[in-house]
Amino acid sequence: MSEPPSYGSGSYETGGQGYGGQPPGYGGQPPAGPPTGQPYGGQQPYGGQYPQQTGPPSGGFPAAGYPGPGTPLPTPAAPRTPADKMALAALIVTIAGYVCAGAGLLAFILLLTVDAGSGTARFANALGALILGIGLGALNFAAGTWLGSKVPPPGQR
């Protein structure tokens, strides 16, 4: 009659069964192999040697702070003219108008949903926020449109 396998003996190297053995490379003397450049035990991964890289990395992101090969260097931007600055200001003021109008509408909705005071007071506060938001938005939109009309077309700058 054969003896059942013992789960605490043997190792992976000797082909024994169980969990008590140590996998190769853990504890004990290291197997003989090349001193450096290859994995422990002299085995080569996937049938080849490690790639020897002698320079900047190829592919992917270049080293920090250095452009990769074939990367065009950025050119400095042309100085902005007064017309460009006015067009940018017109755009920002117009966008601020949209934001004010949207904030007024959002405040109106939120103030109607808050449970504070009587219904008449809630509606009055919400309506005041709506009028203030849409009014400021309309003023900003008008100012942005007026500034944009003062900017000469691109061909005449």
Distance CA 13, CA 31 (A): 11
pLDDT at 34 over 90: no
* H/E segment holding residue 97: helix 82-113
40 domain residue, yes or no: no
- For residue 114, the one-letter residue type is V
Asked whether the beta carbons of 47 and 34 are under 8 A apart, the reply is: no
The pLDDT score that the predictor gives to residue 144 is 94
Asked whether the beta carbons of 126 and 107 are under 8 A apart, the reply is: yes
The pLDDT score that the predictor gives to residue 38 is 53
Confidence of residue 10 (pLDDT cuts 50, 70, 90): low
99 domain residue, yes or no: yes
* H/E segment holding residue 147: helix 119-150
Q: What is the pLDDT of residues 13-32, one digit of tens each?
A: 555 555 555 555 556 565 56
69 domain residue, yes or no: no
Domain that holds residue 123: 93-149
Number of independent structural domains in the chain: 1
103 domain residue, yes or no: yes
- Residue 140 backbone dihedrals phi, psi, to 5 degrees: -65, -40
Name the residue among 132, 130, 131, 142 with its Cα closest to residue 93: 142
Distance CA 57, CA 60 (A): 8
19 domain residue, yes or no: no
Q: What is the pLDDT of residues 78-111, one digit of tens each?
A: 888 888 889 999 999 999 999 999 999 999 999 9
110 domain residue, yes or no: yes
Can you give the pTM of this predicted structure?
0.49
13 domain residue, yes or no: no
The total of other beta-carbon atoms located within 10 Å of residue 70's CB is 5
138 domain residue, yes or no: yes
Asked whether the beta carbons of 1 and 9 are under 8 A apart, the reply is: no
